[in-house]
Amino acid sequence: MASVTFDHVIKKYAGDVLAVNDLNLEIRDKEFLVLVGPSGCGKSTALRMIAGLEEISGGILRIGDRVVNNVPPKDRDIAMVFQSYALYPHMTVFDNMAFGLRMRKTTPSGATPGQSREQAIRARVEEVADSIGLRQFLTRKPRQLSGGQRQRVALGRAIVREPQVFLMDEPLSNLDAKLRVQTRAEISKLHRRLQTTMIYVTHDQTEAMTMGDRIAVMRDGILQQLDTPQNLYDHPTNMFVAGFIGSPAMNFFPATLQQEGGELYINGEGLRLKVPQQYRQALLSQAGKQLIFGLRPEDVADVRMEPNADPASVVPVTVDVVEPMGSEIYLYLLTSGNQQFVARVDPLTRVTPGEQMQVTFDMSKMHAFDPTSQNSLM
């Protein structure tokens, strides 16, 4: 097993296009790290540099203690699972899974004395097939399998090699929603069992939040924040991370911070909210200045469901759109200043579009950002 370290790594394409810009990132041994961000953020390019499929324009890349900038892909002891499965259609499941072992011309670890190399390969493939539920499909061709089964074959092909590092490039993108959830859980269980370093690329923040030990959020080739899923959610370093992590996305309100009678207030379009005592010290220097006030949809509630709501956190609104989700309701609301935002409320809330209502903001969960730099002020 091994760690992976990016030390000021740069990837530049023709025309001075920076795909990855001064990336500093250490992925710990046996860690499940997720690289997440929108299309074009550089996450897949970073993964392909680890695999050796992209040349590094600058900086140092290490796998374990070894610098691998100029090491061929076949000598890096990594295994990669692609979005497109990349299975050989003319081979059976067994032959697809055994292909890497046969090409390396080495005997799998754990071979018993007296076993031929091919017998050892068969034993290894069958062991892995048992662990991921593919034993009964070993004689089938890929065309005879479902999308989820093909993805498991691709995973199995990587597992049999026992690499130092697993690389996964959006492996669930081709699966339907139900199968995606199921396979997501299978990959997480697989990591716990194998205890191998895994680096997983996705644009789906739900996959990132549910699977990663830590998450690296990227944008325009630059690492925005590296942290645990809960810390990313609770303490985003800037507006991009705050808006990208969480669904529905965080609400943002242009506002002014005002000081009155020893208290701080958020004044926006149709908003006047008292800043909780625990945030006064952090925000006091911003008094009289503009800022961006942020609050997640789940921190907005129907005031009728919150009998102990602080009057200083109540906002009158107009219901614009109602989206029942079964276990909750998404409300698209308008303040008196015509600022739209989203609330994620109790399914017992009964409202219709055009109706007036009052909501309460949980100000203990508030966020504040600089409108110019977009960095967190808290």
> What whole-number distance in Å separates Cα of residue 67 and Cα of residue 85?
29
Among residues of the chain, what percentage have pLDDT more than 90? Answer: 69
> What whole-number distance in Å separates Cα of residue 6 and Cα of residue 341?
39
Summarize pLDDT for 230-249 with one digit per residue, the tens. Answer: 999 999 999 999 999 999 99
User: What is the SS3 assignment for 232?
Assistant: helix
| DSSP β-ladder status, 290-295 and 367-369 | antiparallel
**Residue 171 in this model has a pLDDT that exceeds 90:** no
| DSSP β-ladder status, 17-27 and 4-13 | antiparallel
pLDDT band at 1 (very low <50, low <70, confident <90, very high): low
C-beta of residue 378 within 8 angstroms of C-beta of residue 279: yes
How much helix, strand and coil, in percent to the nearest 5, is found in the chain? 30, 35, 35
Closest alpha carbon to 359 in 294, 309, 320, 285: 309
> What whole-number distance in Å separates Cα of residue 171 and Cα of residue 192?
18
Summarize pLDDT for 15-70 with one digit per residue, the tens. Answer: 888 999 999 999 999 999 999 999 999 999 999 999 999 999 999 999 999 999 99
φ, ψ of residue 274 in degrees (nearest 5): -80, 130
Span of 129-138, 175-184, 252-261, 343-352 with lowest mean pLDDT: 175-184
> What whole-number distance in Å separates Cα of residue 263 and Cα of residue 260?
5
Render the burial of 63-89: b for 16+ CB within 10 Å, e for the rest. Answer: bbeeebeeeeeeebbbbbbebebebee
pTM over 0.75: yes
Q: Residues near 29 by Cβ (< 8 Å), separated by ≥ 6?
A: 1, 2, 3, 197
* Token pair of 79 as six digits: 């295994």
C-beta of residue 265 within 8 angstroms of C-beta of residue 273: yes
Please report, for residues 4, 125, 135, 136, the alpha-carbon distance to residue 1 in angstroms, rounded to integers and kept in the order given. Answer: 10, 20, 27, 30
| DSSP β-ladder status, 263-268 and 251-260 | antiparallel
What's the mean per-residue pLDDT of the chain?
92
Query: If you compute the radius of gyration of the chain from its CA atoms, what whole number of angstroms results?
Result: 25
Element (H, E) at 301: strand 300-302
> What whole-number distance in Å separates Cα of residue 235 and Cα of residue 227?
9
50 — alpha (psi -120 to 50), left (phi > 0) or beta? alpha
Instruction: Quote the DSSP letter at residue 203.
Output: S
Region 173-196 average pLDDT: 84
195 — alpha (psi -120 to 50), left (phi > 0) or beta? left
Instruction: Quote the DSSP letter at residue 238.
Output: B
pLDDT reported for residue 244? 95
* Token pair of 214 as six digits: 């830590």
Question: For the chain, which domains are there?
Answer: 4-244 (3.40.50.300), 251-369 (2.40.50.140)
> What whole-number distance in Å separates Cα of residue 352 and Cα of residue 197?
50
Whether residue 248 has a cis bond before it, omega within 30° of 0 = yes
pLDDT reported for residue 344? 96
pLDDT reported for residue 162? 83
pLDDT band at 359 (very low <50, low <70, confident <90, very high): very high
**Residue 106 in this model has a pLDDT that exceeds 80:** no
> What whole-number distance in Å separates Cα of residue 308 and Cα of residue 330?
22
pLDDT reported for residue 83? 78
Residue whose pair of structure tokens reads 């993108």 in the numeric block: 173
Instruction: Quote the DSSP letter at residue 89.
Output: T
* Token pair of 284 as six digits: 């006091």
Closest alpha carbon to 141 in 94, 102, 175, 100: 94
> What whole-number distance in Å separates Cα of residue 141 and Cα of residue 91?
6
Q: How many CB atoms lie within 10 A of CB 284?
A: 12
